[in-house]
Structure 1
Amino acid sequence: MTAPTSATPTIRPGLWTVDPQRSRAAFAVKNFMVISVRGAFPIHEATVSVGPDGEPTEVRARMDAAGFTTGNRKRDAHVRNPDFLDAESHPDVLFASTEVARPGAGGLWLVRGLLTIRGRATPITLTTHTVQTSGTVATVRATGTVDRFEAGLTYGNSFGVSRLAALDLHAELVHAG
């Protein structure tokens, strides 16, 4: 796990909401154990609740399974179908934190929670790497790894699609009050 790289930020208490136009949930998997396949989900909704002490207390997000893209239309259509995401039956990919904690003094946050894909919740820990704030705007980058088998995404194993997917989240948040 990479150590956080930013100094402890000061975050205004209250509710922060995502700017969907400036936010994305990217991923990377290995195909045939050699080729990196990268893609992203649009983040349609996300909130971060920050307590009076400036510490985040809750994180929630909703991503669009049908918006999944790698830049390859044929692959994207296949991943959206029932073999993988089943976007028609399960249109949302959800994240809900169960704990937000600092690993040590002066560090940024570990966000533990459940990532729900195809209606199946899988534990995940996100590590924040950068948090920058400027008044009512905050930019956050966090990474994590999800075991796609635990998430019920087992198709493609015989084609050499890696079991672990690396997540790289970038979100721009606006203070909502």
Structure 2
Amino acid sequence: MGHYLVKVRLRPPARTGFPAPSSAERPPMTVSTWNIDASHSSVLFVARHMVVARVHGRFERFSGILRVNPEQPTQGEVEMSVETASIYTGSSDRDAHLRSPDFLDAEAAPKLTFRSTRIEPAGGASFRLLGDLTIRNVTQPVAFDARHIGTSKDPWGNSRLIYSARTTVNRTDYGIRWNKTLDNGGWLVSEKIDLELDIQAIPATA
């Protein structure tokens, strides 16, 4: 996979001496479709192991689309699909266990999906991305703390929208209840899992 540097352009809201146009005067918002560039994006997770240690992992195969107006990049819709069998933590034995019915049950539930339902502004380039997350064929509402990092052009002239998003879910809400009790009374694997998305999206026509 090639790597390259991109220049990020952050644009503050324009300041003018004229009042903002009324909703009746504003032109309709132009929404375009953007594809998530999986080769320059990541879907990561972090879990606690034996109470104190942090185990980091990622999913290596995923796709998604954004429907947004590039001039208002904190508004729009998001859909993502992740292949559960592509989980990777650096341990083949652990990865096999995570794919098993004890955890993701990748054979019976090959996809982990997210579909946004609404977006709430959180000031500046930040926003809350609310939607439905489906794991093991169980759907629960979640809220990501998200941010539009910027808009860039790559060396080939393609526009890119760059975002980050974070949330924490309880795996037992999705029927993932496997665990073992430690001698100190704690659990081998934490119930709470941190999810971290770093996304680059390119126009669907690129």
Same-fold status (TM-score > 0.5) = yes
CA distance in 2, matches of 1:17, 1:142: 17
Aligned to 1:155: 178
Q: Establish whether residue 171 from structure 1 lines up as the match of residue 199 from structure 2.
A: yes
Shift in alpha-carbon separation, 1:154–1:53, aligned structure 2, 3 A = same
Using the size of structure 1 for normalisation, the TM-score is: 0.86
Moved over 4 A (4+): 7-10
Question: Which sits farther off after the overlay, 36-45 or 81-90?
Answer: 36-45
1:142 to 165, 170, 193: 165
Q: Establish whether residue 79 from structure 1 lines up as the match of residue 85 from structure 2.
A: no
Larger radius of gyration: 2
> For the aligned residues, what is the CA RMSD?
2.3
CA distance in 1, matches of 2:70, 2:199: 22
Q: Establish whether residue 30 from structure 1 lines up as the match of residue 48 from structure 2.
A: yes
For each residue in 1:136-176, what CA deviation from the matched residue of structure 2 results, as whole angstroms up to 9, or x when unmatched? 11221111111111121111253421111011111111022
Instruction: Tell me if the contact between 2:125 and 2:147 (Cα under 8 Å) persists in the aligned partners.
Output: no
Q: How many correspondences in the alignment?
A: 170
For each residue in 1:81-121, what CA deviation from the matched residue of structure 2 results, as whole angstroms up to 9, or x when unmatched? 111001011110000111112123x2422101111011001
Instruction: Tell me if the contact between 1:127 and 1:144 (Cα under 8 Å) persists in the aligned partners.
Output: yes
Aligned to 1:120: 138
Cα drift, residue 39 of structure 1: 0.2
Instruction: Tell me if the contact between 2:64 and 2:78 (Cα under 8 Å) persists in the aligned partners.
Output: yes
In structure 2, the gaps of 5 or more residues are 1-9, 14-29, 154-158, 182-186
Q: Establish whether residue 70 from structure 1 lines up as the match of residue 89 from structure 2.
A: yes
CA distance in 2, matches of 1:123, 1:73: 31
Q: What code does the residue aligned with 1:116 have?
A: T
Q: Secondary structure at the match of 1:109?
A: strand
Instruction: Tell me if the contact between 1:97 and 1:114 (Cα under 8 Å) persists in the aligned partners.
Output: yes
Q: What code does the residue aligned with 2:195 have?
A: L
Aligned to 1:45: 63
Fraction of identical pairs, as percent: 31
Q: What code does the residue aligned with 2:196 have?
A: D
CA distance in 2, matches of 1:107, 1:17: 20
Aligned to 1:4: none
Using the size of structure 2 for normalisation, the TM-score is: 0.75
